[in-house]
Structures are given as C-alpha cells and as structure tokens.
Structure 1
Amino acid sequence: MGYTLYKLLEENTVKIPLIQRDYAQGRASEEKVRNDFIDKIKSNLLEENKKLNLDFVYGYTTKHSNDNLNFIPLDGQQRLTTLWLIHWYFAIKEGILKDGRDKNSEILLLGFTYETRISSKRFCEKLVQNPLIFDNKTKSLKDKIVDASWFMSSWNNDPTIKAMLNMIDTIHTRMCSIENVWHKLTEENRITFDYIDIKSEEFKLTDELYIKMNSRGKPLTPFENFKAIFSQVLNDENSDYYKEKIEYENSKVTYQQYFSFKVDGKWTDLFWDYKDTRDNLDDNFLNFFYYIAEMLHYRENKEDDFQRNFEYLETVFSKKKNVDFLFKSLDLLVGIKDKKLFFDTIFSIDEYQIGKVKLFGETNTDLFFKSFTNSSFEVLLRVLFYGLLKYLIETKTTQPTDDLINFIRILRNMLLRVRQINTSKRIEVISNLRLPYFNSYVQFIDGFIKNITEEKAVYHSFVNNSFKGFTQDSFTLEKKKINSLLKNPQIEKNIYKLEDHNYVYGIPDNFIIEDENFEEKVEAFYEIWNFDKVSNSELVRALLTKGDFSVTTHDYSKLGYIKYFGTEDYWNRIIAPSNEDEKQNTKKILNQFLTEYINSVKDAILDRLDEMLNAYSSEDKDWRYYFIKYKEITSPYFGRLNLFSWNDKDGFNINSLGNSGVQPLASHHLNPYLITIRKKLIECGFSTEIVKHYNGRYSEELSFLSLPKDIKLYVDYGCFKLHNLVNLKNHQYIINEFNMEKEDDYYILKELKGTDKIETAILFCTKVLQSNYLS
C-alpha cells in the first residue's frame, strides 16, 4: 500500500537496525547516484500534481514499551534515510521547526533513529533539536553542522553520519530554490513508497522466507543478529586464535564453537536469573558485551572514543587475550551462585559495615547488574568491576575472600584519589576518572594482581612493590596508611570506618592514624559530623576556635578572593582537600579540635562544643571573634553556603554567597554582619517591614540594611557607612551621640567603647527606631 514517510512516522517509530549496511547513498564515491536520485525527486516536486513512487519498503513492526509501534526496515533503509533528510531540510528551510512552530512535526521527525548505533541516533536527534539558520546563499550546510557546538568531533569517524552530511549538502545545492515543499511532502503525498509489514496478518511472511529474501541471511532481532556476527568474528582466519582450541566439557572445541555452546545456555541463564530484567534479556546481554569491549578497548587506546557498534566489537575481539577475558568473565559469573550475596559480602552502601568496602552514593552493590543494565554505572564502578573480574580470573576463585576485599579497598581508594574541584560547584570535590585513561589504571590493576598471585598477601604486596598508573604521591600516602595498619593491626577497623565516612571519601590523610587516641578521634568525628545532633553553624564556629580552617575556592573576584567554611553535605572539600597547603592547615586544626573534644569532661556533644566556644577570647575582636560569637553569620539563611567573598584582611567588608560556580557573584549576596544585625533587631521585636535588607549582585550592587526615612546602613572597611541621616528629625543629636564623622554624603559609624561593631550597630538602630527621630 502507498505510504509517505510522514504517514509512516505518524504510525511508527522507524528504527534502522544494525543488520543494515551504513547509509550508502551519501558516500563520497556515490556522488552520481546521489545526484541522480535527488534530481529525480526534484523534477517530480516541480511538476504540478506529479507523484513519484519509490517501490517497496518492507520490514516488520514490534511493540514499544509504551504500546507504540517500532518499524524495523529490512529493505529500503537508503531511501527512507534520504527521504527523512529531505523532510528535515525543508522543515528547517520553511520554518516548521523554528521556535516549536509545529511541535507534532518535530516529534515525528525525532521518531526516525538508528537502533543500536548510538552516534547516528544522537546525530539525528541533534539535527532536529538544533534547527540551523541558513538561506539559499549558504554554501555548505555540512560545514555549519560540523562547526556547531553540539556536534561531537568523534562523529567525523561515523560512516553513516559522514554520508548524511554529504547528502544534506547535495539536497541544499540541488533543491534550495524549490518552494512549498513541506506541503507537497506531507499533504499532497507527492513522494510515496509501497510499505509492507512482513509479519502482519495481511502478509504473513515467515522467518524462513524472510531469511531467503534477506541476502545477508541474518536473524531478525538485534541479539540474534549479534550472535551471528560475533560468531563470524570468532571464525575470522585473520584472528590470532583461529586455529586454537578451548576446553569444553572434557573436549577441545574452537572459540566459535565454545561461544555457540555457551551463548544459548549457561551464559543466557546468567542474565535470566535476574527476573525483573527478563523483558530486556537481549539488551542486557549486549550491554555486558559492550561493557567488556569498552574496557578492553581503552586498555590499549587512550584517545580513541569507543563506539557501541559491531565494528568496534570486531576490532576488540580479534585478539585472543580479549576473547579469553570475555569468556572467563562470563564463566566465573556463572560460577557465582548467589550474586546478590556475593556483592553484598564485598560492598556496603549508606553506612560503614565491618569487613566491607563502601560504595559512596550507591543504592545497589551488584556491579554485574549495573554493567548489563548500564544504569548508574560511573567510571569508578566500571574500573572497580574490571578489577574484580581480573582478580577472580587470575586467582581462580569465585569466593569473596578477605584478600579480594582488601584488594578492592586499595583499588577503590586509589581511584578516589583521582579527583578535582568541581568547576561548577567549587565547594565540592568530584572524580576526575576518565575511561580514556583506563590504560593507566589498568597498569596498576594488572601489576598489582600479578604480584598478589606471586606473593599472596595483598597488603604486603602493595607496600613492597612499585607500581604505575597513579601519581607517586597517591601511592606514598596509601602505602603509609597500610604500613601503619601492618604495624598495628588493631587500628584496621578504625581506618576502614574513617575511610568510609562520606566526608572523608577514602582519603583520611588529614587524620593522625598513629595517634594513641586514634579510635576515640574516629568516634568523635562520627559524633560531631552527624548533623542530626549538631548544627552546621555550631560545628563551623567550634572549629574556628582552633584557627582558620577555610579553603579558598576562588583566588580572585571583583569583591575579593572567596573562602569556604563548610556546609552540610559538602565537608569533603575541607576534610580531604587536594591542595597541599590547605591539607597541612586543616590537619593541624582538625587534630587539635578532636583532641580537645575527646579530652573534655563534659558528656553531651553540644556541651563539649559550647565549652570550646565559651573558652575562646580575642582582644582585638578580629573576624574570627564575630564568626564565633554570632551564629547568624554561619547559619544557613537564604540558601547560603558558608561561602564568603573576602575583600579585606579584617574580614569585615565581606559578602555571604549562595553560588560557588564559575561566576559566584552572579547570585544575590549579603554582608553577613548586616544579616546578623537584622536578625537581632527582629528578635528584639522590630518588624521585618521596618528593618529590611537589600541584596547585592555582582560588584556594582552591594547589600545594605534599610531603616525608615530611607536610612541605609552599608558595611565599609572596619566600620559602617550611614546614608541619608539628614532625613532624621534632630539628626545632629544622634550623630554627636555616636561620635560619627562625615565623609562625602555619608557618615561613619565605628564601635563604641565597651562594645563590638555589631553591638554598636544594633544600639544605633534601636535608638533610631525607638526615639522621636522618625516623627
């Protein structure tokens, strides 16, 4: 029956299967074929009421998860892709996609995709979602697309994408002068084809007949197609294992035979055991193969981006050592009868558990499950799972032994040391692991496992050998910790417990683990950094009694450099800083703080912290005096982060920020001393409508406190500035009372004798609000 592409997309999502060859009409070598085909379509569009039928397009439909239909073309992929590109071109040219003018058409165009070629699929999506701007004078749309910010450089290596770009330029060059084409394509049905669903009741084409029709003779589903192609890869005469045999049930078989025997038996059962994912069995099997292929690819290729397609699988598994790793991984996973118990024995989540290695921020310990569902499978977990598989293969065990757990702990910690400051949130430290650098990580994994198999003892093997793959500083620090543990095995539990705290995150360098009170300090750390019992402000202020422990997140802004003092959920930036100077400073203050805490005679946590606060004194009333005395400065009002721009050495002309990213001044900011003054005045009973604060933004707008009569209180270096005092009745009396001096058009308010700056400001505001100055 006659169909247009638009009608087909209204009824189905069109998915080009991997079984089809790359988009050939756009190849550079097919220029004449391409030009002739486009010219043929063009001539039909130019003539009135003329229609063009492009012969048969056949395939089959499958049910989508939301009950929509997927149409899988088995013949006609080349024509359908060209038609889609023509529809896309005129949808852009005629403004159909501009500003969401026709949302339905946009949705339909997004319904054309490549089933397993991720790069081609994403390219099609980006074409629709990012309409180009061009006209008839534009020379090359291909150049505009390649130069677009959304175009990934790796796509230049995708033959289908390269062919599409060639076709887009051909369409533009030969058809840009035609008008009103979208209407002709979608409403006049000028270009059609005969569409056949080979599995429909109407047609009733059997699989056997289809295989005869399909010259490649490959099965229908992607998984069946994968098995057929992978079987061919294993039978490639050019592989380094073509003539080799592998043992299977007391006999020797070829690699191809081994795969065929296992893939429809025990290996499939491996995934079938996960009942909740059985509907995606084929995808799960493919995901695992791609995961293994990806890790093996990056083991030898640092810069080349891995693509989830059969070309990459064929390249990776043309080598015997890679096929051996794949087969052994599957076989050992088959040998683990209770995989949930296996992973739960090795790993913990949420809280520290004795004898286990914590996975931070995870809800599931099963790394195998993550690998085949490809969900929440970050680089850290990918590398950990590779290391686990490699260890099991080389040690020939499927048991979660203590040695395995120790190996995993060291590997996790080394991986956690590969980190960086998050540029979009500089109060946070994030992983800097990259899969293209896996060839470095694997040097350590393979070398460490080799030594373990020779020396047996994991910890001794680690400290007694030299390794590559991470920085020498990382090795030195990790070895120092393990050496301490070997000298004093009794501290093992406390080291592990400390490492597994969310704010330590595997890097306890700021703690003195040789300290005789180490266990007490670990317990104290867990007690204090539990914000169900201690407020963040109380903690910050108590720590400040031992010194300035802040870290610098920005060494420059128009309001000065920026200091960070710690916020709930983001203490790792301070507890385990990456900067060496910050590390030494924090280590000194943290250990002094914990020592005083555990030596206190008080029982309750807050009583011990209050004891520190009450004992603190400062004759010169520096910024630490104000931060410690006034909890309002470090309390989490208005979404603030205990992040402050610092424009003077005295810490008075500062601003409390709520944005720690690239432009920290882009969000509203307030001077914390003004926040404190307003809070205190409100506590005294003054209305929020009488005492108002106004946010600053960027460096041009500074925050101020507003009183009636348009009195404005600003913060300056070491003092307050008061604007519009002349609006007060008898203003000279209050000027004299507070001994204020005039500068330009404002007055300077300095602290009175026997008070601090905040007390003086509160006293001034109270005088103004309670007297007859406003009448």
Structure 2
Amino acid sequence: MSTYAGKTLTFIDLFEQDGLIQIPVLQRDYAQGREAESEIRQQFLASLRESLCAEDPWQPLDLDFIYGSMEEGEPPVFSVLDGQQRLTTLFLLHWYLALRCGEQEAFQVTFLRHGRSRFSYKTRPSAREFFDALALENDIQLPLGQGSLSDQIKDRKWFFSSWLLDPTVQGCLTMLDAMHEAFHDSPASLYTRLIDSQSPRIIFQFLNLNKFSLSDELYIKMNGRGKILSDFENFKASFSSNFKEFSLNDDLERKIDGVWADLFWSLSHGNTERFNSFYLRFFLLMAFFRQCEFTEGQFEKIPENNKLLLKNLRESKIYRPQTMPFRFDAYGLQRIEAVLDYCVANEHVRPLLHAVLEQNNYLTESRFYALVCLIHQLKTPTSDQFLRWQRVTDNLIHNQIIDSTEVFLPLARSLRRLATHAADLYAFLANTDEAMPGFTQEQWQEEKLKCQLLHSLKWQDLLQHGDWQAEDPSPCYESHPYLMGKVGFILKMSCPEGEKIPDPDLFKENADKVCALLDKSILNSDEFLLQRALLSLADYTWRCAGDKYSFGKHNGASYRERDENWFRVARTPLFSELVAAIAGDTRQSLLDLINYSNVSGWRRLMITYPETFQYCSECVIGKEKEDHGKQEIYLVKRKQYNGYNTDLRTYVVKIILDDKKKTNILPSGIANYRHHDVIGHSQSFIDITLSDSKNYRITYEGFQFVSHLKSEKREADWERSMPDAIANFLKEYFPEEDIAA
C-alpha cells in the first residue's frame, strides 16, 4: 500500500501487501447503512450492480478519491482520512458476494491476517470485533430461510447483542440486508468480476498522503473536514481524468483553470464559495442534460436507479461520486467546451447562465438547455439565428407547465430535434407537419402559424421580439409580461368573419386592448375592474373545486397560474366581447361597463361593491342553493370553508353601513352594528342595535334576510321579528322579496 502515492486501484489492490486498512478514531460511524440514508444506499448499490452485471461495460465505475496516510508498524496500517463510507461498503460487498458465490475461502485468504480482519474500525472495540468475527466465521448460509440476512447474523453464537449499540454495526447489518435485496439473484461469477484487477469493474483514485509530506496540522484539518478538497475540486479532478480518456483539444484542461474559471469567478462576484458551487452546478447540470439524452422511453418505465441518478445530478449541491456514477462521453465533453467558450465570448447569454446557476427550477433549466442545443448545433449562430431560436423556444417553454423530470424529458427531446433546423428555423416551422410531443400542441401550432405570417413585413413588425418595458416600445406583443409569447387567442379573434387568416390591422387593434387589459395596473387593481366588467357581461366564473368558483387571480408568475386564470378566460367568446367593448381609455371603458350594467342578483352586488372581491384572498367564491334565478353566494378567505367565510348579502350590508359610518350618518333608527364571519359551515350574521337599544341578529337564509330579536333565551328560541328601521334600510339596497316579514 505504501507504494501508491497516486494511482487508480480496485479495492482488492489495497490488500496486495501484508498490511491493514483502518478507519481512525476521529472518523464518524458508518453512515451509508443508516435508515435515513436509504435513497443514497439504493442508488449506490444499483450503480455497483449495474457495473458488475454488465457483460461488456464501456468503463469501470469510478468512486473518486480515497485519501489516507501510512502508519509504520508491524503490520503497517493505512489510516483512512476520506473514503471511509465507500471502503466500508466495498468490504461488505466483497464479503456478501463471496458468500453468495461460494468464495468464502478466497475471501478469507485476502481479508484475514492471523485470524483478524484486515479491514477494521478503530472507533469502538465493538466495531473492530464485529469485522473480525464477520471475516473469520464461516457459518452463514444462502439462500435464506425465514428472516433477513441480518437476522441470521444476529442469531449466531459469535454475535454479541451488545454490538447492536454500536451505530457502525447497525449500519453494516442494514447495508447487508440491502445488498441481499440487490444481489440475491445476481450471476455466480460476480465475485470473480469484483476482484479482477486486470479488467476492473469498480475503481477509485488512491492517494497516500505521506508521499506529499503534508503537515500534522493539515492532517487535523482534513480529519475535521473529512476531505482535503472542496466538492468542486474533487469533481474537477475526476472530470480531468474523464476527458483524458478521449482525444480532445489539449486546451481543455487549461481552460478549466483559465478562461472558464475567469467566467465563473466573474459570475460569482469574487466569492470563493459561490465560485465553487457555480462551477460544480454547471457540470452537474450538463451531466443531467446528457443523462436525459441517454434516457429513452416513457418516464414511468425508467428503472428507479436511473430516476434517482437524474434527481441527484439535477438537485445536488455537493459531489457524491457514489450517488452520481456518471462520466461524460466525447459528445458531452465537446458540448461543454462549445457552451463555455460561447459564454466567454458572448456577454448577452451570461444573465441566463447566471440564472441557471443560481436557481433550481425547470423553466430556467429548459431555457438554458435550449441554448445548449443551439450552440452545439450551430457553434457560432448569427444574430438572426440566435434571436429567432430564442424567440420561438422561449414562447414554447414559457407556455407549458414544466415541473418535473417526467415533463422535462420529452421537452428536451423535442428541443434537440428542433435544433437540427435552427439554421433556418422560420422556414422549417412555416412548412412542417412534424409533431413535437414535448411541447403543448396549442403553442406548437401557434408558432407554426406565426412563422407562416412572418413572411409579411407588416407581421414582422407586430410579432418580432422587443423590449416591452422600454420607454418607447415597438408593438412587441409577445414580450408582454403576462402573454410571454402566447398571442394565439388574439390571432383567432382577429380573423375577419368567415376567414381563417388574421388581419394584421385588426390584430394590432385587439392586441393593444388585450395588453392593456392584462397590464399590472388592471390585474393588481384593488377596484377589481376586470372582474367586475366581465361579470357585467356574464357569469364568467369557473368551478375550481366542489361548489367553489374562481373569478381569476392576478398572479402570473408561472404558466400554470396564467393558464388556470386569465388565459382560461381569454380563450372564451366572452373575452372577445369584452375586448370589442373597449374604446379609448381602458380603465374608463371598464368603468362604463360596470356603471351601466343592468344585471341583478349576486352579480349586481359584486359589481357594485368591490370590497366583496377584496374579502376573497384566494379569489374564490362559494355557490350553493339556487332557485328561480336566485343563488346563495359565500365569500371565502381560503379555497375551502376551513377558513373564515361569510354569505355575500350580510357582508354587503356591512359594507353599506361602514360607508355610512364614515360620514357619521347611520340609517334612521340604527345605532350600532357588528358583522360576524365564521369558520366552517356555520351561518354568518350581522348584529344590529337600534336606537331603542334592542338587538337584532340578521341572517340571509332561504334567499331572504331574516331578523331575530336577541334575548336571554336560547338562540333557537329567539323571536323572529323584522323591525321597520331595519326593513326600510334593507329595501333601499335589496329587492323587497329578499326581505322576510
């Protein structure tokens, strides 16, 4: 072992000489066997099995660096500083496969010395004794009868129950059970493959730190951290060995510490920790993209270990080689070089690069993957090619829900296919009948239609991207912050009657109105002008759950929010009717619709009193009983009744009284009032005190206002009574048939 200063080895290579491998006191317990590490354990074992069972693996599974130092003595001891978890798992795998394949004697020849295990822990005597007994005793039988492998081990005379107090022993038993589950049906040749150093299946990079003359102080720091290098530095070392496998540009290694490092240093604003995390995130994301391209078929049919690998590559902020058994092929490495070189040379793409390094969301990752596809296809796209690709792919990406790898996979396939036409994208889209299942068909058809229109200069002025936020913007409707590329419904309403082709002048007129209607000043208005104007035309609300109906949330941060709210309305003939009613100033046009509305019932109340919308925090109302055009409406704080809610009518009474109270002129005979909303399905009410000090409780039930005189009796026994003062007040604002005698 002492001869290996820095070399690629198998686990069996470490035991060629007559020494021991020991986990020192400063190290933690064996963690890969913990119950909480189930996901990592399963992924690691799946990777080990895949490497061992492959008939002709294209490369061994590389478990990255193992560090440690030699302690002189008889025998010499290699003390592990980094790699404890991986080495322990490999020792247990050798023991299990020797048992599984009938190679116990061969195992003992290698791993026993004078009746003791050559791999051991110095952390606790119980751990050392367990490894000694496991290697020495030879009385475990496979296949198992009833119970687990760990149960069989614990039942042996040589196993002391006190060992179960040791977390390392507990972890080893859990790992052995997991190994049996993963390898119980494996080929009988696996142990031979595992110990074959000539055609290795599992390797790591071994460093004997004595050969580097490192100080004791550094040893202490390393022991405290568990590793000598940062996660990115570990990855970089592995990555460097990766690209040396291929005959690539000799400048690649120099770029990692040169111009590429300068790029990430600039993006991280000189912060070392962010620099390392950004650099690592980039490479893991590129590995995620490449693994997605390797992954075929429907997501639900993908093996679980492959799903877990995709998850780890995309989400991890640290480098764990045992859970990320991925190495780039020549294609992947060439693409990394092309992308980073392009980002170095072109500042306009750096905001997107920075965003994808900072954020962990599929939308940004999809946009960056689109850029990756373009660069790899065209190397150095022209300005027109870049802008056209960005416009089309942004429109496609922004207008679908991308919230999982299951959705990202077909999207990535379609982007990659589309990139093969990036040199003349508009011509391809204008003429293709090809389906792209990774995109929503609505948006895919819209992009094809727009490219057919773009042969006209007039349409180019209307549809090309610009800056919507500019002081004097061109009519770049696609870049409107709510539309984000979706203008298909405007194109549809801009077709002259009886025709299928939209008219550009009519489109411009309609698009101006739509953009004004969906402007933040309208959507975020506490007057709820858009909702009230729509209600003046029809009941446009839609069922969202049970008896709950939405009137539209203004939030448009994601496509899901836009699609489930105002895009849902915009696709309807009612929205076209609203657009047609806009003339001149948008706000005034909406107010005119509201003020001149002649609707009745609950719609009239909500149109007249915007405070009713303000009550509904989730923009949801409840609709219950309906009879002869009348309907009981409930305003709800949440989407369910488990939050505060009130019936519409008593809340409108409160609004009216609040307005009168501000002028210190309450209706004749009314001295005071208090509205009570409720939680759950209880009946909301408003208590009114008259000038004669009598108190009445007003509820709305059975489509009428009902009044009870409050008294000391049980509420159920209160006298039903509608005093003139309250009745006269209600008649001013509600139909007389709504007021019970």
Q: TM-score range by the shorter chain?
A: 0.5 to 0.7
Is the CA contact (8 Å cut-off) linking 1:703 and 1:714 kept in structure 2?
Answer: yes
> What amino acid sits opposite 1:290 in the alignment?
L
What SS is found at the alignment partner of 2:216?
Answer: coil
Is the CA contact (8 Å cut-off) linking 1:712 and 1:723 kept in structure 2?
Answer: yes
Q: Does 1:435 align with 2:423?
A: no
* Deviation of 1:607 (Å): 3.1
> What amino acid sits opposite 1:706 in the alignment?
D
Aligned to 1:507: 486
Q: Does 1:694 align with 2:676?
A: yes
- 1:670-692 Cα shifts (integer Å, max 9, x gaps): 12222211121122235999322
What SS is found at the alignment partner of 2:358?
Answer: coil
Of the candidates 592, 598, 608, which is equivalent to residue 617 of structure 1?
Answer: 598
**Equivalent-residue separation in structure 1 for 2:420 and 2:532 (angstroms):** 50
Aligned to 2:397: 415
Aligned to 1:546: 537
Aligned to 1:230: 239
Of the candidates 331, 334, 339, which is equivalent to residue 344 of structure 2?
Answer: 334
What SS is found at the alignment partner of 1:644?
Answer: strand
What SS is found at the alignment partner of 1:271?
Answer: helix
What SS is found at the alignment partner of 2:625?
Answer: coil
Is the CA contact (8 Å cut-off) linking 1:271 and 1:285 kept in structure 2?
Answer: yes
* Deviation of 1:645 (Å): 0.9
Task: Give the direction of change, closer, same or farther, for the CA distance of 1:483–1:575 in structure 2 (3 Å limit).
Answer: farther
1:594-633 map, 5 Å = 594-598=579-583, 604-618=585-599, 621-633=600-612
Is the CA contact (8 Å cut-off) linking 1:597 and 1:608 kept in structure 2?
Answer: yes
**Equivalent-residue separation in structure 1 for 2:124 and 2:562 (angstroms):** 53
What SS is found at the alignment partner of 1:666?
Answer: coil
**Equivalent-residue separation in structure 2 for 1:199 and 1:332 (angstroms):** 38
Aligned to 1:310: 321
**Equivalent-residue separation in structure 2 for 1:405 and 1:575 (angstroms):** 27
Of the candidates 213, 216, 219, which is equivalent to residue 203 of structure 1?
Answer: 216
> What amino acid sits opposite 1:369 in the alignment?
H
**Equivalent-residue separation in structure 2 for 1:631 and 1:577 (angstroms):** 24
Q: Does 1:262 align with 2:255?
A: yes
1:60-99 map, 5 Å = none
Aligned to 2:111: none
- 1:208-231 Cα shifts (integer Å, max 9, x gaps): xx9xxxxxxx97454443333223
Aligned to 1:589: 574
Of the candidates 642, 657, 682, which is equivalent to residue 619 of structure 2?
Answer: 642
What SS is found at the alignment partner of 2:544?
Answer: strand
Q: Does 1:677 align with 2:670?
A: no
Aligned to 1:350: none
* Deviation of 1:522 (Å): 3.1
Task: Give the direction of change, closer, same or farther, for the CA distance of 1:283–1:416 in structure 2 (3 Å limit).
Answer: closer
Aligned to 2:115: none
Q: Does 1:388 align with 2:374?
A: no
**Equivalent-residue separation in structure 2 for 1:586 and 1:292 (angstroms):** 38
What SS is found at the alignment partner of 1:756?
Answer: coil
What SS is found at the alignment partner of 1:711?
Answer: strand
* Deviation of 1:388 (Å): 1.0
> What amino acid sits opposite 1:658 in the alignment?
K
What SS is found at the alignment partner of 1:693?
Answer: strand
**Equivalent-residue separation in structure 2 for 1:646 and 1:545 (angstroms):** 18
The alignment's C-alpha RMSD in Å is 5.1
**Equivalent-residue separation in structure 2 for 1:23 and 1:440 (angstroms):** 35
Is the CA contact (8 Å cut-off) linking 1:140 and 1:169 kept in structure 2?
Answer: no
Is the CA contact (8 Å cut-off) linking 2:289 and 2:369 kept in structure 1?
Answer: yes
Q: Does 1:320 align with 2:337?
A: no
1:67-466 map, 5 Å = 165-167=171-173, 203=216, 220-236=229-245, 242=246, 245-246=247-248, 248=249, 257-274=250-267, 276-280=269-273, 281-301=275-295, 302=299, 303=302, 304-305=307-308, 306=310, 307-308=312-313, 309-310=320-321, 315-317=326-328, 319-336=329-346, 339=347, 342-343=348-349, 366-371=351-356, 374-397=357-380, 401-419=383-401, 432-453=402-423, 456=424, 458-465=425-432, 466=434
Instruction: Structure 1: state its 5+ residue gaps.
Output: 7-15, 33-75, 85-138, 144-160, 172-195, 211-217, 237-241, 249-256, 344-364, 420-431, 741-748, 765-775
What SS is found at the alignment partner of 1:670?
Answer: strand
Task: Give the direction of change, closer, same or farther, for the CA distance of 1:572–1:612 in structure 2 (3 Å limit).
Answer: farther
Is the CA contact (8 Å cut-off) linking 1:575 and 1:586 kept in structure 2?
Answer: no
Q: Does 1:520 align with 2:509?
A: yes
> What amino acid sits opposite 1:489 in the alignment?
Q
> What amino acid sits opposite 2:261 in the alignment?
T
* Deviation of 1:644 (Å): 0.3
What SS is found at the alignment partner of 1:648?
Answer: strand
* Deviation of 1:293 (Å): 0.6
Task: Give the direction of change, closer, same or farther, for the CA distance of 1:711–1:23 in structure 2 (3 Å limit).
Answer: farther
* Deviation of 1:668 (Å): 0.9
**Equivalent-residue separation in structure 2 for 1:624 and 1:313 (angstroms):** 58
**Equivalent-residue separation in structure 2 for 1:82 and 1:444 (angstroms):** 58
Task: Give the direction of change, closer, same or farther, for the CA distance of 1:446–1:737 in structure 2 (3 Å limit).
Answer: same
> What amino acid sits opposite 2:412 in the alignment?
V
Task: Give the direction of change, closer, same or farther, for the CA distance of 1:443–1:531 in structure 2 (3 Å limit).
Answer: closer
Aligned to 1:119: none
Aligned to 2:687: 706
Tell me the number of residue pairs that the alignment of Structure 1 and Structure 2 aligns: 524
Is the CA contact (8 Å cut-off) linking 1:750 and 1:760 kept in structure 2?
Answer: no
**Equivalent-residue separation in structure 2 for 1:573 and 1:536 (angstroms):** 25
Is the CA contact (8 Å cut-off) linking 1:509 and 1:576 kept in structure 2?
Answer: no
> What amino acid sits opposite 1:386 in the alignment?
Y
Q: Does 1:489 align with 2:460?
A: yes
Instruction: Structure 2: state its 5+ residue gaps.
Output: 1-23, 29-62, 67-81, 97-118, 128-146, 152-166, 178-208, 314-319, 467-474, 495-501
* Deviation of 1:415 (Å): 1.9
**Equivalent-residue separation in structure 1 for 2:400 and 2:560 (angstroms):** 17
Aligned to 1:756: 734
- 1:621-677 Cα shifts (integer Å, max 9, x gaps): 23322222333322x14x6333101113446412111223xxx22211112222211
Aligned to 2:445: 476
**Equivalent-residue separation in structure 2 for 1:226 and 1:574 (angstroms):** 37
What SS is found at the alignment partner of 2:326?
Answer: helix
**Equivalent-residue separation in structure 2 for 1:24 and 1:331 (angstroms):** 38
Aligned to 2:17: none
* Deviation of 1:385 (Å): 1.0
* Deviation of 1:277 (Å): 3.5
**Equivalent-residue separation in structure 1 for 2:531 and 2:252 (angstroms):** 60
